[in-house]
Amino acid sequence: MGYDILSKIIEFTDSEEALEKRLEDVAALLISFFAFDQCAIYLFDQEKKILILAVEAGSKQEGQRVYREDEGLPGLAIKTGKPVFITQFGRIKDVWQGIADKSASGFKTVICHPVKDDILYGALYMRSMDKKIISPKKKKLLAVIALQLATAIKNYECIVHLTDANKKMQDMQARLVHAEKLLALGEMAATLAHEIRNPLMSIGGFTKRLQQQLGADPSHSAYVERIVKEVERLEKLMDGIVRFSDKSGYELSLEDINNIIEEAAQFFEDEFKGSGIAVVRDMTPDMPRIEADRQQLKLVFNNLMANAIQAMAKGGTLTIQTRHEDNWIVTEMSDTGGGIDIKIMSNIFNPFYTTKETGTGLGLAITHTIVTNHKGIIEVNNNMGVGVTFVIKLPVAREQGGNYE
Ligand SMILES: Nc1ncnc2c1ncn2[C@@H]1O[C@H](COP(=O)(O)OP(=O)(O)OP(=O)(O)O)[C@@H](O)[C@H]1O
Ligand SMILES: [Mg+2]
């Protein structure tokens, strides 16, 4: 008989089910085996030092949900480390031998058994309306059951901790891979940028000469002007990449974020007009300065604006907001380009990840690195079907009252 219930309890506690379901099964089994009316299982919160009701089986009357470690019959059981057995002819009142416990009230037999090995995991609380004689054999059996329950809860907690640790390790690994990719990217980009810069300067120089020779001839000057402008843009980009890969080359100075954003926006003025994009500025004036490499930060806003323009090829609104919040200068850049597909959200900061035919997938990776190098934070608020907001938080310069390390 005893072996039967033990093997069943082991079966329940070793099952793959969630802990709560297993405890429910155990509570139901105890009720039928001991012919009690109610069985509750409490779990001990090690931090708060309280017993919390996990499951209840049997008739509807509810027991107390939480017990302090010095409260009621469960409190007595866990304090002494020994089970409490009460059997009497009359019904138990709200107070038993000076211990107040409403959960016992109205019953004739009550068992409160600690669930523990070296550590306390919880308590079993069983109640019956009838007077029951609990034989020494049954008491021993109950002790074994409680120990088995303790082992099951302990194993479960170990698995939860392990899963948690595993997840943290995987996250860390992913971040390491990201950092490694960026490092490789930095080296490659620097080499490429060096190679491209020289011929680019020649193209720029010759085009300017061509511009002088063509004079004001309207049939060609528009094209030549475009070439000059594009070459300038590429030169700046190459400069940015060379600086991006060389962290020691950061030139920090006290900067006004509005001013940097304004300069970046001017760069795209033609594109905004051409695509029918309205730029709404909601920028707080006279904010504290940030400590930044001006060219690098400009690259950040260039990249974000370029993405916004590409997302709003058929027009829209780009809203740029800046504000001072505690120790941060916060910039929010929102577009109405439809947002980012939820499925690709986790990839957008990865180098070389792009959904565009002619994209390099470097824009946001570079942006992320520059913001992080400035001890800042970049966040994305995606509103699927509407647009996306990039939030950039940069620390207020220490000279300006910022107190970041
Ligand atoms: N404002 C935006 N709206 C919608 N999707 C965006 C936006 N910004 C970024 N994305 C998505 O994130 C991807 C990665 O952006 P990222 O700037 O890193 O590379 P890219 O724009 O594709 O290429 P490159 O910047 O080199 O031109 C984009 O391909 C696009 O799918
Ligand atoms: Mg981009």
DSSP codes, 206-233? HHHHHHHHHTT-HHHHHHHHHHHHHHHH
Confidence of residue 248 (pLDDT cuts 50, 70, 90): low
> What CATH number corresponds to the domain at position 30?
3.30.450.40
The pLDDT of residue 403: 61
Q: End of a domain among 109, 128, 162?
A: 162
Cα-to-centroid distance, 195 and ligand 1 (Å): 25
Q: Is 294 within the bounds of a domain? A: yes
User: What secondary structure letter does DSSP report for 396?
Assistant: B
Give the nearest ligand 1 atom to 351 CA: 18
Q: Is 243 within the bounds of a domain? A: no
Q: Are residues 144 and 262 in the same domain?
A: no
What mean pLDDT is predicted for residues 263-290? 95
Residue 124 CA from chain centroid, whole number: 36
Contact between 209 and 189 (Cβ < 8 Å):
no
Contacts 24+ apart (CB under 8 A), 59-65: 61/106, 63/38, 63/103, 63/125, 63/127, 64/101, 64/102, 64/103
pLDDT at 169 over 80: yes
Q: End of a domain among 147, 162, 177?
A: 162
Cα-to-centroid distance, 356 and ligand 1 (Å): 7
Q: Are residues 15 and 154 in the same domain?
A: yes
Q: Is 224 within the bounds of a domain? A: no
Confidence of residue 402 (pLDDT cuts 50, 70, 90): low
> What CATH number corresponds to the domain at position 391?
3.30.565.10
**Among the bound ligands, the one closest to the CA of 390:** 1
Q: Are residues 157 and 274 in the same domain?
A: no
DSSP 61-128: PPPPSEEETTSHHHHHHHHHSS-EEEE-SSPP-SEETTEE-GGGTT-SEEEEEEEESSSEEEEEEEEE
Distance in angstroms (rounded) separating the CA atoms of residues 129 and 105: 10
Q: Are residues 123 and 263 in the same domain?
A: no
Lowest mean pLDDT across 36-50, 171-185, 300-314: 171-185
The pLDDT of residue 228: 87
pLDDT at 211 over 90: no
Q: Is 389 within the bounds of a domain? A: yes
Residue 20 CA from chain centroid, whole number: 26
Lowest mean pLDDT across 217-226, 278-287, 368-377: 217-226
**Among the bound ligands, the one closest to the CA of 359:** 1
pLDDT at 404 over 60: no
Q: Are residues 158 and 265 in the same domain?
A: no
Q: Are residues 154 and 15 in the same domain?
A: yes
pLDDT at 2 over 70: no
Domain that holds residue 271: 250-400
Cα-to-centroid distance, 171 and ligand 1 (Å): 23
Query: 312: closest CA among 276, 284, 341, 286?
Result: 276
Q: Are residues 158 and 14 in the same domain?
A: yes
Q: Which residues are in the CB-under-5-Å shell of ion ligand 2?
A: 307, 363
The answer, yes or no, to whether any atom of ligand 1 lies below 6 A from the CB of 348, is yes
Q: End of a domain among 127, 162, 197?
A: 162
Q: Is 392 within the bounds of a domain? A: yes
Q: Is 205 within the bounds of a domain? A: no
**Residue 45: Cβ within 10 Å count:** 13
Q: Is 171 within the bounds of a domain? A: no
Q: Which helix (H) or strand (E) holds 274?
A: helix 269-275
Number of domains present in the structure of the chain = 2
Q: Are residues 262 and 390 in the same domain?
A: yes
Q: Are residues 149 and 255 in the same domain?
A: no
Confidence of residue 189 (pLDDT cuts 50, 70, 90): confident
Q: Are residues 16 and 129 in the same domain?
A: yes
Q: Is 191 within the bounds of a domain? A: no
The answer, yes or no, to whether any atom of ligand 1 lies below 6 A from the CB of 382, is no
The answer, yes or no, to whether any atom of ligand 1 lies below 6 A from the CB of 381, is no
Distance in angstroms (rounded) separating the CA atoms of residues 348 and 355: 9
Can you give the pTM of this predicted structure? Answer: 0.52
The answer, yes or no, to whether any atom of ligand 1 lies below 6 A from the CB of 359, is yes
Confidence of residue 156 (pLDDT cuts 50, 70, 90): confident
* Gyration radius (Cα) of the chain, Å: 35
Residue owning the nearest CA to atom 7 of ligand 1: 307
Helices 2-13, 136-214: crossing angle, 10 deg rounding: 10
Q: Are residues 264 and 372 in the same domain?
A: yes
DSSP 372-386: HHTT-EEEEEEETTT
pLDDT tens by residue, 316-348 = 999 999 999 999 999 999 999 999 999 999 999
Q: Are residues 259 and 386 in the same domain?
A: yes
Contact between 272 and 301 (Cβ < 8 Å):
no
The answer, yes or no, to whether any atom of ligand 1 lies below 6 A from the CB of 304, is no
